[in-house]
Structure 1
Amino acid sequence: MNNEYGKMVLNPDVVVRSRGVMEKCSMCIQMTQATILNAKKEGRAVHKDEFETACSSACSSGSMVFGDINNPEDAVTALKEDDRAFHVLDYIGTKPNVVYQVKVRNTNEA
């Protein structure tokens, strides 16, 4: 437990699995809860676009966005209402938390 990997086992925010085992994305629930807790300690509401996940903060192109879908001022709310937005397998009645955007293609090539 004294090496780098041993210390990660003791960290509840880091999941350590053996090689070849996939873990379902938790949407960085620990970061989300920390954001809510900090706002509560400061006696304020969570600001728009304050939520952040590891993947959205690492994405330099801005193609991955995370936020509060219930806040109409949040950037993800506008993206969800866009005509290009869709859910995977929504035709069978699933209600996923992930929204995708259809790729824009140039159909007027000259």
Structure 2
Amino acid sequence: MAPKKYKLSYLPLFYEDLLEAVNHIRLKLKNEQAAEELLNLAELAIRERLVAPEAFETFQSMKERKYPYYRIYVKNYIIFYVVIPNESDSNFATMEVRRFIYNRRNVKKLL
């Protein structure tokens, strides 16, 4: 059996979350280098996870969901994603990146 292949997609909400975090670091904290590092680390973590996104523990949520959430920790942030199977070919799926949330926020309320 061939290993499953994953396509990567992002929700617009992920980009909004990421931009908000980067702008906070860049503009409010006046730390351009830390903002750039956060962007690079987030991209790297997502690309590394794309190899086997279902090989990790799911996020336990009180809400019933069609697809379980998975987490990636990057610095003080959590990237949330789901894996959506391809209905016509079980060897393919989509890793859909959905949120980028500061880890001290009420994550369960935001999801």
Same topology, TM > 0.5: no
If the length of structure 1 is used for normalisation, what is the TM-score? 0.23
Q: With CA pairs under 8 Å and 6+ residues apart, which has the higher RCO, 1 or 2? A: 2
Higher-strand-fraction structure: 2
Which protein has the larger Cα radius of gyration, Structure 1 or Structure 2? 1
